[in-house]
Structure 1
Amino acid sequence: MTDDGKRRPRSAPVASPWKVRTPPDALRQSRASPSPRTDPAPARSAPEIRLYGLNACLAAFARRAHDLRKVYLVESRIPALKSVLAWCVQHRLGYRVVETGDLDRLTGSRHHEGVCFDLRRPAPLALTDLLATQPAAPAASLLLWLDGVGNPHNLGALLRSAAHFGIGGVIVPRASSLDLSGAAARVAEGGAEAVALARVDDEAQALAALRAAGYAIAASVPRDGSDVFIADLPPRLVLVFGAEGEGMSTALIAAADLRLTIPGSGAVESLNIAASAAVFLAEYRRRWSVVKGAS
């Protein structure tokens, strides 16, 4: 009230920097307020990805803490995330201690394991950039090409295997809808941060560039291919996997230098892509681990 008894006008509410991405109920449950940001903020249009799962989030933080934008966690995860929270305090990034139900809604999943990060999405590499990270010919190098694969859980399982066996990178067509998601990153258990992703615009040009770099192209097929356990596997190899059901394009199969099949009992048509990839990668690693200097 003023001295003459009139009511003072209310001040306009201060806009919350969390308003766009955080549901109101999650805000009501939070017990830690974001501090003002002093490090340079990215442009508003910078794409972000919401990761969840403890191992996925810790791996992302270990490799690119500078991309971290927001942290949500349940109270029981504070001990496991002390270093992350300390980094947030040091760099004046906000974090929120929320309830499990809030994380269910923020992630759209019950498999968040009590933590969720918002990070800047890393830009995919061009094929030339990916090739520049590989050992020069004739040294052994294995890359994966995914044609039509779209299931995020399959992608996550494949990335986990690729990281385990030290694969050089994954190639996908630019037009593919396949991209890293929170679900894929959680299933990958940190593998998504260890395996580079490259997108290619022109399939024929990409195949030519790969061959120029010394790579042979191998199509994984469910039947009528060479037994992967007997076939001669070149040290520099691109393994092509197609979507379950539809398979890979006939053009890619025709362009392949060899076709490889995992022999089985015939009781089922084939393994799913994640299981197939693990078998192929293990066999390649068995052949070429000494050449690559792996233990």
Structure 2
Amino acid sequence: MKQQLIFGLHSVERFLKQAPQSVFSIQFIKGRLNPRQQNLLDQARALGLNVELVNKSAFDKADGNHQGVMAMVEKQKDLTEVDLLKIAEGKSNPLFVFLDEVQDPHNLGAILRTADAVGVDAVVIPKNQSVGMNATVRKVACGAADTVKLVVVTNLVRTIKDLQQQGMWMVGLAGETEQTIYQIDFKGSIGIVMGAEGSGLRRLTREACDHLAAIPMAGVVESLNVSVATGVTLYEAMRQRNL
């Protein structure tokens, strides 16, 4: 059984609430615990979980603010192209997000958090040249890493084309196009395709999209951070889909 470390109060709390059977152990930094940490420790002990108080140096492997708590949990099953096609088939109007080689775990975590808020059915990433699920992603996602389906595919463009054959329309975000996201119809079966930090969409990914759209920019900054751009686009999609 594969295991993985998660860090941060929100991530550990979500596991205790949703899947306590998947938690093998929880570690806190030795010393005085704040009320939220103490409450988490009490919950863990009440559930009969293994709780350890460890030196601060044990948290050196954490990337970012660990908030004095980490847990060893069961690694979730990796979802693949087969699972994605089943998700699409099981929904009348699925909404997917495709990330074309996004490499910053903070961006992936923020996108998962927004995806959870908007009700995205799956976030899709390529197997190579892309950040995957790790402790930092989980921390930034604030629990959404366990609620949003993250699908890892071998070939992103091929997966996009397979879903197009099932009737999904692909909208790629590209700053140079004149059409804006507010002119796109986001109702129906939709995939929103986001490019990598800095380089944007790769050529083949761009060419696979049915439509390209931009976010209007009134200032001197040419583009938004990919997680911010994804959030803006997803909320426009949600607005339209809820009309």
**Does TM, scored on the shorter chain, surpass 0.5?**
yes
CA shift digits 1:235-286 (9 cap, x unpaired)? 2111111111111210010110000110011410111001101101100000
Match of 2:44 among 84, 87, 96: 84
Conserved? CA contact 2:125–2:156, under 8 Å: no
Conserved? CA contact 2:187–2:237, under 8 Å: no
Residue correspondences, number: 238
2:53 alignment counterpart: 97
Conserved? CA contact 1:127–1:200, under 8 Å: yes
Structure 2 CA distance, aligned partners of 1:83 and 1:225? 54
Conserved? CA contact 1:50–1:107, under 8 Å: no
Higher radius of gyration, 1 or 2: 1
Question: Which runs of structure 1 show a deviation greater than 4 angstroms over 4 or more consecutive aligned residues?
Answer: 134-137
**SS of match in other structure, 2:24:** strand
Structure 2 CA distance, aligned partners of 1:165 and 1:53? 23
2:222 alignment counterpart: 269
C-alpha RMSD of matched pairs (Å): 2.0
**Does 2:72 align with 1:112?**
no
Match of 1:126 among 55, 80, 90: 80
CA shift digits 1:135-177 (9 cap, x unpaired)? 746x322101111100011111111111111111111112234
* Unpaired runs of at least 5, structure 1: 1-41, 291-295
Letter aligned with residue 118 of structure 1:
M
Match of 1:257 among 210, 216, 230: 210
TM-score, normalised relative to structure 1: 0.74
**Shift of residue 118, structure 1, vs aligned partner:** 1.2
Q: Structure 1's 225 and 172: CA in aligned 2 closer, same or farther, altered over 3 A? A: farther
Structure 2 CA distance, aligned partners of 1:57 and 1:85? 14
Listed as ranges, the matches of 1:85-234 within 5 Å are: 85-87=45-47, 89=48, 93-99=49-55, 101-102=56-57, 104-109=59-64, 111-134=65-88, 136=90, 139-234=92-187
Identity score, percent: 25
**SS of match in other structure, 1:78:** helix
CA shift digits 1:208-237 (9 cap, x unpaired)? 321233211111112214211122224211
Structure 2 CA distance, aligned partners of 1:276 and 1:108? 24
TM-score, normalised relative to structure 2: 0.89
**SS of match in other structure, 2:52:** strand
Listed as ranges, the matches of 1:35-46 within 5 Å are: 42=1, 46=2
* Unpaired runs of at least 5, structure 2: none
Letter aligned with residue 247 of structure 1:
G
